[in-house]
Structure 1
Amino acid sequence: MHILTTQLVEFILEKYQLNDYILYDSSYARDKMNDQTVYSFETFWIPRGASVIEEENGTMLPEGTVQISIDPVTKRTTTLSLQGPSSIYSVPNDLRDPTTRIAWIESETDMIHGTHFMLEEENETFFSYVSCYEGIRLTPGCFIHLTLTENGQLDELFLYGPHPLDHHVTQEPFALTLEDIDLLTKQQIKWFSYPKTGHQYAHSVVETFVTQKGSILVPSKLDFTSSIEVNDVLSWTGLPSSKKYERYSFQSGETVTANDVITQTEHPDFHPISQETVNACHTVIKDIIQNEYPADSGQWMIRYIYRQHPYLAVTLSRAHPTSYVDQQRRVTILLDEKTLDWISLTDDQELHTALASVTLPELEDDQQDVIFNALRPYLLLTPRYVFDVSKGHYVLCGLLDSNHAYLPATNEVVLLRDL
């Protein structure tokens, strides 16, 4: 066992005093949080004297198994799951009392309620919290899910996402108002269809993050990855290539080692995509598209190539869309990152064909004003810290949103949940 693994196992053993358990399995995993590589160390502990059952479909761990995952750098717990009745040191026997529950979550997460995390949803046995900074939510942020048994004992504590104490936040007063962004708000009012007595359409505001300078900021995804915008139309003449492009099976997940943790090896998805790789992908994708859609020369455009380790993902769209279906249609092709072997092709044509009968509404300027004025009393502008990839930290924005929609057929404003 690697010395780091031994140290982490001993840390978990001491923290939760798992003297009545033995370590069944442990492993490392690597993930992406905003623009950073994050590692985790996962362990499974089984009660002493319990038996593991080997079956055709896999291994069945005994009742009372405890799953614990921690960040190997900060040693914060990210998963604590009790598979059956168990009593773990430092975990209260009954977490139904709010004061007890919050105090325990604070001790486990190294966060302060109201300052670093706040409640989003709850019922009798499930509690969902989101990360914040001084009471203002972070996007993207950390999610804390706590599940209890009927008698209030811990079932599972699960954390996912960037920890608020590990990222820089630029703090400033929130001064943005709806009046400051009238023009931008009008541009964010979009139509959508809904299945009610046939295809109907309504208008509402698209959820938008607006900087205090009045510009739109698109939040990063938790799984940020290297990508290249291509925008190249695929054309060919003659018959498809005689080369056969067979589909290969998906590969298993990567193996992450203790040495990766020690050296903090960057996630493969962050590696830049070279022009040589782009050119090679272009050749392969062109042949695949020509074989799959031989009559569509000049009708497909490569939009993006991005990493999805151990694959390269290529998205294509229609080069000259003539309908709503054409505008929305996407084809995604996965290639093996090293060999460029063809792994899969996904065409979402059927999904968008279902909306083929939807006629896009064309609105005059005065109609747009009517819709805007009808929705204006229901617009919401909420402060939100949003991670800006270009700056590498969170900046204060306003979340423009609404819970209502305008129905042009009846000139009504209704709640979105009622559609």
Structure 2
Amino acid sequence: MIVNEQEEKIIEWTRLKFGLAHYDLGRSSYSRRVTLFNETVYQFCMEWFPKEASIVEEDLNPEGTAVIAIDLSTNQVESAIFVGGETYAKAGIVFQQRDVESIIKWIEAETNLIYGRQFQLDSHKGGKYVFKECYKGIDISPPGYIELKLNSDGELVFYSVYGQFPTEEVVKEEEYTLTVKQVKKTAQAQIRLIHDPSFKDEKIYPTYALEEIYITNDLSKTIPFEGFTDRGGRIELEELLVWSEPLQNHFTQSELVLIEDISAKQAFTNEPSADIEPINESEGTAYIDVVKTFLRQVYPAYSGEWLLTSFNRDTGYIHANLKGSKSHSFIFQRKLKVIIDPHSLEVITYIDNQLLSDQFKTYDSPEEVVLSKEEAYEKIKEFIELKPCYVYDDDTQKYILGAMIDSSYGVDAHTGEVFLLADRE
């Protein structure tokens, strides 16, 4: 394993910090991710093996292995996991005091974050502590978390930091003023009739429920609840895919390589990931042709039944995202992801959620819908909640104050009964 000077400094710092005198560095590699702000962040990842242990299989780590990732943009620990909750570290990270206040002080020193301003306690049970991202005590969306686990001796066996934890430069501060009465029209528009399967009863129920959505504090815009996935270069589409002739040639899937081969030079020069590159019009046209050719091979009888909704870059591939074109109220909508090699313009593989829908074919059919959407809203309106949060806004690239409109309750569209949605899972 070739180690350069920068790597050597990180390795020795990690060895001392985590007390890894009884460990050998077995493997190391680089990884990267694209943030909400379309920035590339690199990590140096190390797998430390206890001296007594042997590597049985290449992809398996023995108990006690320390898997540690360092964020190269901050030189801070992004994650530290001792496999199986076992540690052979000596003079590593040990907490004599295991109260929440002591854990908070350690996290503040480790991350340079301020408790109550950028993170707050979410849960604490035994030796497990979970903190969630916030801004001055108000939740952040999409959320971030800091998780920490100690063994019975107070030794650190798990630590992970995930999220943006924004500073005031990227937050548009306001005084929260929203009320449920103000968002009445938006809430009414979010009532959906869904056919919801109950695993417990093995039956499909016709249910009215509120589809979550974010609304800004000034009521000027809404932001979809699922608007934060697939951060890389992305284009939105609304392309109905139609063809007249199927293709007879057989489609063969290829291996999907999800681990990028990243060099030290790329990492330490912070080379921008190719995933942040926009997808231009000519590329989009070419990818549409690739998807259509694939569908003619694999779904020849489905002409006009797939809607192409977006393309995005992910780990060097192009992901084409499709959904069924026919509207229906079943909670699990038909979805298809087609993964394309942008260089060869060949489909590598695909993911179809058909199996998810098929498992409910034996369930009892839903009863007749008796209630109207308006009647359902009247029954559920007293259970509608506003959950204040700072929401990331793609248009301004800032976190803006708003709230999630949500409800934990649904209405049976046949009987009119109001019930807790969790009770029907």
- Mapped to 2, the partners of 1:326 and 1:106 lie a distance apart of 42
Q: Report which stretch shifted further, 332-341 or 216-225.
A: 216-225
Change (3 A) 1:7 1:154: closer
State the match for 1:186 in structure 2: 188
Q: Distance in 1 between matches of 2:54 and 2:366?
A: 54
1:135 equivalenced with 2:141 (yes/no): no
Which residue in 1 is equivalent to 2:322? 316
- The answer to whether the 8 A contact 2:323-2:335 is kept is yes
Pairwise mapping of residues 5-404 of structure 1 onto structure 2 (< 5 A)? 5-16=7-18, 18-35=20-37, 36-47=39-50, 50-56=51-57, 58=59, 60-61=61-62, 64-83=64-83, 84-87=86-89, 89=91, 91-94=93-96, 96-165=98-167, 168-192=170-194, 193-195=196-198, 196=201, 198-214=203-219, 215-218=221-224, 220-221=227-228, 223-238=230-245, 240=247, 245-319=251-325, 321=326, 324=329, 328-353=333-358, 357-358=365-366, 361=369, 364=372, 368=374, 370-404=375-409
Q: Which consecutive residues of structure 2, in runs of 5 or more, have no partner in the other structure?
A: none
Q: Does the CA-based 8 Å contact 2:230-2:314 persist in structure 1?
A: no
Counterparts in 2 of 1:245 and 1:66: CA distance versus 1, 3 Å: closer
- Between the aligned residues of both structures, percent identity stands at 25
Find the aligned partners of 1:203 and 1:271 in 2 and give their Cα distance.
Answer: 41
Partners in 1 of 2:370 and 2:417 — Cα distance? 19
C-alpha distance in 2, partners of 1:329/1:122? 38
Structure 1, unpaired ranges of 5+: none
- Aligned pair in 2 of structure 1 residues 21, 318: CA closer, same or farther (>3 Å)? closer
In structure 2, relative to structure 1, the CA distance for the partners of 1:167 and 1:247 (3 Å cut) is farther
1: CA distance between counterparts of 2:64 and 2:321? 45
**Any idea what SS the aligned residue of 1:338 has?**
coil
Amino acid at match of 2:222: I
The 10-residue stretch of structure 1 (391-400 or 167-176) with the greater mean CA deviation from structure 2: 167-176
- Please give the secondary structure, in 2, of the residue aligned with 1:278: helix
* Matches of 1:101 and 1:94, distance apart in 2: 10
What secondary structure is seen at the aligned counterpart in 2 of 1:295?
coil
CA distance in 1, matches of 2:239, 2:230: 25
Give the secondary-structure state (helix, strand or coil) at the position aligned to 1:417: helix
Cα drift, residue 178 of structure 1: 1.1
Question: 1:281 is paired with a residue of what secondary structure?
Answer: helix
1:9 is displaced (CA, Å) by 2.4
Aligned-residue offset at 1:160: 1.6
Q: Distance in 1 between matches of 2:356 and 2:27?
A: 42
3-state SS, counterpart of residue 328 of structure 1: coil
What TM-score, normalized by structure 2, do the two folds share?
0.85
| Structure 1, 127-136 or 279-288: larger mean CA deviation | 279-288
